[in-house]
Amino acid sequence: MLKLFIQKIKFMEEKEVKKVKVLLIAMTCILLMGGCSKKAEKIDIKIGAMKGPTGMGMIQIMDQAKKDETKNNYKFTVVGAADEISTGLIKGELDIAAVPCNLASVLYNKTDGAIQVAGINTLGVLYILETGNEINSVDDLKGKTIYSTGLGTTPQYTLEYLLTNSGIDIKNDVTIEYKTEATEVAAILNGSEDAIAMLPQPFVTTVLLNNENARIALNIDEEWKKIGGEDNSLVTGVVVVRKEFLENNKNAFNEFMKEYKESTNYVNSNIEEAATLMEENDLFKAAIAKKAIPLSNIVLIQGNDMKKRIDNYLGVLNSQNPNSIGGKMPADDFYYIP
């Protein structure tokens, strides 16, 4: 009798344990289902890009954003002039932007550190073109006339630094004529059998497509490295972020930078497809973009390597004209290194 009583108690205990187990499993399933069904909420991010090499690396993100395939909601503004980007960043109308490197420093100084740089997105895009066949080194420019754009801006300082550090007196050994528009320089190349000019991409590609007598004589980025070493490369474009936005949305920004890296890899590996997207997004005509991409040095360099390259480049500009970088070299908090 006692034995039967004990067995009955054990049976009841096992039954209760089973009930508890079933209840725990049911609760776990409910929690899991709720977690799976609730996706992380996307935030809206306003991004500025310029028509030109500095915006080319973003093209895959632009395309994916239209399809709602990005980590967050990206609203892109594509403009033709850097002033529009500057105004948008200062007023908080843009959160992230691709801008010329020296402009990033100017904005940092102008806003007392409210703008930070997070990556280099474009290296050298300047080239010496000629319609003859005489220029094979920087030394060959001595005694020549060089046409260029960019008086009072980085192309001028870049060319003068290159010539001076190659032993060429810019006042006595060479004549530099600056034009307002790249189209003026292109017209000079088209109308002469021995003209020499310095132009950036994509105008280099435009000239080459329209003038069979024109050729690339010198890659300014390569010549620049010969003077100061591999870390002294030209830095054309960078990606910047408003410090306030970054502090409040660090995870979202880091996700964007991961997507940016994937986008730059896509552009360099899928040139035809990327060129088509650039025309669809009003950056370039596809025919020009297809030829320009391999010559545009599209990258995404971050961290200490970014800092070293930008420091070197801004140091050169500062020695040429401090106003070109906003009056002084930026401090360490200019750089966002995650």
* pLDDT of the residue at 267: 96
C-alpha 57/C-alpha 256 separation (Å) is 13
pLDDT at 33 over 80: no
38 assigned to some structural domain: no
- Token pair, residue 61, equals 């993100």
318 assigned to some structural domain: yes
145-148 and 175-178 as β-strands: parallel, antiparallel, unpaired?
parallel
- Claim to verify: residue 66 and residue 198 sit in the same structural domain: no
pLDDT digits (tens, 9 = 90+) for 242-275: 999 999 999 999 999 999 999 999 999 999 999 9
Binned at pLDDT 50, 70 and 90, residue 5 comes out as: very low
Instruction: Write down which residue in 232, 259, 281 finishes a domain.
Output: 232
15 assigned to some structural domain: no
- Claim to verify: residue 226 and residue 181 sit in the same structural domain: yes
C-alpha 211/C-alpha 183 separation (Å) is 13
**Cα atoms in the Cβ-side hemisphere of radius 13 Å centred on 153:** 14
26 assigned to some structural domain: no
Q: Is 37 exposed, middle or buried (0-12, 13-18, 19+ CB in 10 A)?
A: exposed
Angle between helix 250-269 and helix 271-280 axes, rounded to 10 deg:
120
Instruction: Write down which residue in 232, 258, 282 finishes a domain.
Output: 232
- Token pair, residue 198, equals 């310095």
57 assigned to some structural domain: yes
Binned at pLDDT 50, 70 and 90, residue 230 comes out as: confident
C-alpha 299/C-alpha 293 separation (Å) is 11
11 assigned to some structural domain: no
- Claim to verify: residue 137 and residue 224 sit in the same structural domain: yes
321 assigned to some structural domain: yes
Q: With a threshold of 0.75, does the pTM exceed it? A: yes
- Claim to verify: residue 94 and residue 215 sit in the same structural domain: no
pLDDT digits (tens, 9 = 90+) for 99-111: 999 999 999 999 9
- Claim to verify: residue 153 and residue 174 sit in the same structural domain: yes
- Claim to verify: residue 116 and residue 133 sit in the same structural domain: no
* pLDDT of the residue at 253: 97
pLDDT at 282 over 90: no
Q: What percentage of the chain carries pLDDT values higher than 70?
A: 88
Domain hosting 113: range is 44-123+235-334
- Claim to verify: residue 152 and residue 240 sit in the same structural domain: no
Q: What is the CATH number of the domain that holds 163?
A: 3.40.190.10
Range 183-210 average pLDDT: 92
The total of structural domains in the chain comes to 2
- Token pair, residue 81, equals 């002039």
